[in-house]
Structure formats: C-alpha cells, structure tokens
Amino acid sequence: MSAVTPIPAVIAVVHDQGRVLLVRRGQAPNRNRWGFPGGKIEPGETIAAAAERELAEETGLQARAGRVLTTLDALDHGPTGELRHHYLLVAVACQWQSGEAVAASDAAEVRWVSVNDLETSGLDLIDQVVEVARLV
C-alpha cells in the first residue's frame, strides 16, 4: 500500500471565442507540457476560490469560477514506477473578467489556442486537455 495521500487541486478552464487558455508548466509534474492553469486547494478554500486564485497567480487574469466540469486523477510516477504524487483535479469552467494573460508563478508561457486546433497544435499537451476543453 502506498504512503501517498491524494491531494485536492483545481484546474481553471477559461474559454473565449472558441479558444481555451493554456499554460506551459514551469514546474514538475508535467514541466514543459501544456495544460490548464491550476494548483492545490488551500485549507478552508472553496473550489471556486482556488480556481480563481490559481488562474490569477499563473496568468494575471481575473475570472469568475462557474460550474465544475469534471474531476480527474493525475498520477505522477518516478523513474522506477513508484507513485510520487496523486492529484485529484477538479476542472472548473471560468468566465474571463479582466486582465491580459501573462506567464507568472509556475507557468513558463501562456497561449490562447482554438479548441478545434488543439489536437493539431503541435503542443505537448497534458493528458485529457482536449477532452476537458470540449466540456465547456
């Protein structure tokens, strides 16, 4: 039995005119891969507040969190296959309110990408990005 405890986290799914906001992760896990802004839910923080905070920290955008789209398991394995982290990701639809997207915090780069072009974008996407982007 693993000593790894699942960690609750959020991902902020921001759509605008057929595009979705993605960040290139600057830190492990998934360093240099593209996905949604997000991170751990802090103690006492609601899912909506966590999504709004993580989005602002990573991109500078202000948004209003809406409905939960889905939940995902994100398993991070070490080089010998051992489980290092288990994140329970809550995907939250977010409505842009203000600001221009700029990479900050642990995001190395930000980009708006057409939902229709995600699969052919050439970006190294984190698992399930395309499926989650289509849920909004």
SS3 state at 100: coil
User: Are 11 and 133 spatial neighbours (Cβ–Cβ below 8 Å)?
Assistant: no
Summarised one tens digit per residue, pLDDT across range 37-68 is: 999 999 999 999 999 999 999 999 999 999 99
Within 8 A by CB and 6+ apart from 108, the residues are: 23, 24, 25, 26, 32
SS3 state at 10: strand
Residue 126 — pLDDT band, cuts 50, 70, 90?
very high
Summarised one tens digit per residue, pLDDT across range 6-33 is: 999 999 999 999 999 999 998 877 889 9
Q: Report pTM.
A: 0.92
Task: Set out the domains of the chain in order of their start, with CATH numbers.
Answer: 7-133 (3.90.79.10)
My answer on whether omega of the bond before 29 falls inside 30° of 0, hence cis, is yes
Q: One-letter amino acid identity for 106?
A: D
